[in-house]
Structure 1
Amino acid sequence: MAYPSDLTDEQWALLKPVLNAPGKRGRKHGDDLRLVVDAMLYIAQTGCQWRYLPESFGPWTRVWSQFRRWSRNGTWARALTVLHTAARKAEGRAEATPSMVVIDTHLARGGSNGGATFHDRGGPFGRTKGAKRVVAVDVTGLPVTGLVVPASMHENETTRVVLDHLARQGVTERLELVLVDRGVSARAADKLGRRHSVEVRRVGWDDKQPVFRPIRHAWRVEVAHGRLGRSRRLAKSFENTTASATGWLQVVCIATTLRHIASARTRALVLAAAS
C-alpha cells in the first residue's frame, strides 16, 4: 500500500548513495532500505508511535534500529547536506554551498514519558520544559542543518554548536555572513566570527512594536520552523535523547528538501514546455 509520504523513484535515487554507503563491516543493502526510509517518513508526517507502524512497512523494530543507527552516526546530517546541494542546483544556484545562512531556535515543549531525558527548563523566564530546535537556512529558505539541544542552552552556545557542525559538514567554505537574533551577545558574535572567519551579524528591531515586521532574510528561518512544525512527530519533543530528537528534525528537513526539489524540477519542466 502506498502512502503520500513515500519516496518517488527520483527521490530515492538522490538518497540511496548516502544511505547505502559501504561501511567497515556488514553487507550493503539494496532497495529494501527504501521501505525502511518510507516507514520513517510516514512516522515523521503522521506522528504515530513505533508500535503503531502499519505492518506493510515490516517489523517496527527493524525500522527503529536503523533510525537509531543513522541518528547516532551522522547519516541524516550527511544526507541533508547532499540534498541541500541538489536543491540549490534545482533552483539554478551556481554554487553548491551558501554564502549566507540564518540561524534561529524554536522551543518545543517536552512530551516524553518517564526515563532519562535531556528536557529541562528554558525559554522566557525559564518556564517551558522542553528542548530547543536550532535550524540554519540559506537564502532559499531551505534548511542547511538542524540540531536539537537542551532548552536551557544559551543562544551563544547554540550558535557555536551549529557553526561547528556546519564546518564539519563542509558547508562553511563559501560562508561569509551569518544572521542571528539579538539573543546572541555582541561579544559572542564577534568571537564566533573570528573563529570561523565569517561575519556574525545580530539583527532585530530596537523598538518594541506590537505589529509584526519581517526582517530582511531573517524571516526565512521563521518560515522554515513553521513548515517543519507541520510534521506531527515534531508537535512536541517526544524523544528522550538529543540524538533521537536531532534525527527526527533532520528527517523532516530531508522530507521538506525532497519536496522542494520535486517542485523546482516540475516548474523547470513547465517553463521549458512553455518556451
Structure 2
Amino acid sequence: MTVDIGLIGTVCRMPYSTDLTDEHWALLEPVFNAPGKRGPKHAPDLRRVVDAMLYVSHTGCQWRYLPDSFGPWTRVWSQFRRWSRNGTWARALTVLHEAARQADGRTAATPSMVVIDTHLARGASNGGFTFHDRGGPYGRTKGAKRVVAVDVTGVPVGALVVSASTHENRASELMLEHLNQQGITGRLELVLVDRGVTAAAARTLGRQHDLEVRRVGWDDKQPAFRPIRHAWRVEVAHGQLGRSRRLAKSFENTTTSATGWLQVACIATTLRHLSRDRGPRRGLQVAA
C-alpha cells in the first residue's frame, strides 16, 4: 500500500500549540478578512496564514524552514509584509485587548490608565541597510528599542519599535500618538512612565493629550528588585514577550517589520491571557 505523505501533511495536519482556536479566529477574522479593492479574501486559507505567523513568532524559525503544511513560505512572508505596513496587526491587537478586558470583567473596552516602558534589544546583522543604531548606557548596545504599553491587567494595548538611540521622551510620545490612532485614548486619564522621561517632557505630553503623565521610580538605589505598584505589570509583559524566539534579537532591517513581529508577539500573549482558566480573583480591585 502506497501512502501519499504530502497528502497527509496537507489534509490531516496535526495542530500546533500556537494555532488559533475557533473562538479566537471568530474574534480576528473580521480584521484579517476585511474587504479590500478585490473583495473579501479566502477566510479558511487566511487562518492558516495567521497560524503560520504565530508559529514563526514563537519558534523563531527562518522563513524557508516554515513547515510545508502552512503553504508556500513566500505567500506567508508577503502577507506578513502587507499586514505590517497597513496596520492590520495593530488593529488585531486592539480587538483582542478589548476582548481580554471583557473577559477580566472590565466594564469599559478601553483603559483609563496605561503603563509605558521600553526594552533594548541587541540587533542581529543581516547585511545591508538597517535602522539599528547605538543606544542604552553609554551607547554600548547597537540594536532597537521596543516600546510597549499595557493596561492595569498587564495585557498589551500597544507596541512599537524604534531605533535604539531614540530618547525615552520621543518613545513615549510616539506610543501616545499610536494609541490615539487606534482609538484607545478616549477614557485615558493617567499614563505611568519611568524616570527616563524627563519631568518637562512629561508635562508637555500631558498638556498635548489632556491627561496626566506620571514619572515613577525609586529615589534610592537598592540591589534587590522592588516592584512599583501598577508599573511592574509592563516589566512582566516584556518578560512574557521574551517567550517569542523571533524576538531573541532584533533580526529585522526596518522598523515596520520589527514592529510587526512585536505586535504578533503581543497578540500571542493576549491569546494566552484569553485562554487561561479564570478562577476567583484576588488582590486589589482597581477601577481602571
TM-score tier, shorter chain, comes to over 0.9
What does residue 50 of structure 2 align with?
Answer: 37
* Counterpart among 70, 73, 82 of residue 60 in structure 1: 73
Give the counterpart letter for 2:205 in structure 1.
L
Q: State the Cα distance separating 1:209 from its structure 2 match.
A: 1.2
- Deviations along 1:161-194, one digit per CA (max 9) or x if unpaired, are 0000000111000000000000000000000000
Distance 1:25 1:195 in 2: 40
Give the counterpart letter for 1:86 in structure 2.
A
Alignment check: 8 A CA contact 2:83 2:89 kept: yes
1:27/1:94 CA distance change after superposition, 3 Å: closer
What does residue 70 of structure 1 align with?
Answer: 83
- TM-score w.r.t. length of structure 2: 0.91
SS of residue matched to 1:180: strand
The reply to whether residue 214 of structure 1 matches residue 227 of structure 2 is yes
What does residue 258 of structure 2 align with?
Answer: 245
**Structure 1 residues not aligned, in runs of 5+:** none
What does residue 237 of structure 2 align with?
Answer: 224
Give the counterpart letter for 2:57 in structure 1.
A
Distance 1:220 1:27 in 2: 38
* Counterpart among 273, 281, 285 of residue 260 in structure 1: 273
What does residue 136 of structure 2 align with?
Answer: 123
Alignment check: 8 A CA contact 2:33 2:40 kept: no
* Counterpart among 225, 230, 246 of residue 233 in structure 1: 246
Distance 2:40 2:104 in 1: 36
Q: State the Cα distance separating 1:27 from its structure 2 match.
A: 4.5
Distance 1:131 1:25 in 2: 36
Give the counterpart letter for 2:24 in structure 1.
Q
Distance 1:35 1:105 in 2: 32
The reply to whether residue 103 of structure 1 matches residue 116 of structure 2 is yes
Q: State the Cα distance separating 1:26 from its structure 2 match.
A: 4.9
Q: State the Cα distance separating 1:238 from its structure 2 match.
A: 0.4
SS of residue matched to 1:106: strand
What does residue 172 of structure 2 align with?
Answer: 159
Q: CA RMSD in A?
A: 1.3
1:175/1:27 CA distance change after superposition, 3 Å: closer
* Counterpart among 124, 132, 137 of residue 150 in structure 2: 137
How many matched pairs? 268
What does residue 21 of structure 1 align with?
Answer: 34
Give the counterpart letter for 2:212 in structure 1.
E
Distance 1:102 1:8 in 2: 29
Q: State the Cα distance separating 1:24 from its structure 2 match.
A: 2.6
- Deviations along 1:125-156, one digit per CA (max 9) or x if unpaired, are 10000000000000000100110000000000
- TM-score w.r.t. length of structure 1: 0.95
SS of residue matched to 1:113: coil
The reply to whether residue 183 of structure 1 matches residue 196 of structure 2 is yes
Bigger shift: 20-29 or 78-87? 20-29
**Structure 2 residues not aligned, in runs of 5+:** 1-12, 282-288
Give the counterpart letter for 1:174 in structure 2.
R
The reply to whether residue 51 of structure 1 matches residue 64 of structure 2 is yes
Compare CA radii of gyration and give the structure with the larger one.
2
Distance 1:217 1:112 in 2: 36
1:195-206 correspondence to structure 2 within 5 Å:
195-206=208-219
What does residue 6 of structure 2 align with?
Answer: none
Alignment check: 8 A CA contact 2:34 2:40 kept: no
Q: State the Cα distance separating 1:29 from its structure 2 match.
A: 2.1
Give the counterpart letter for 1:267 in structure 2.
R
- Deviations along 1:89-147, one digit per CA (max 9) or x if unpaired, are 00000000000000000000001310110000000110000000000000000100110
SS of residue matched to 1:202: strand
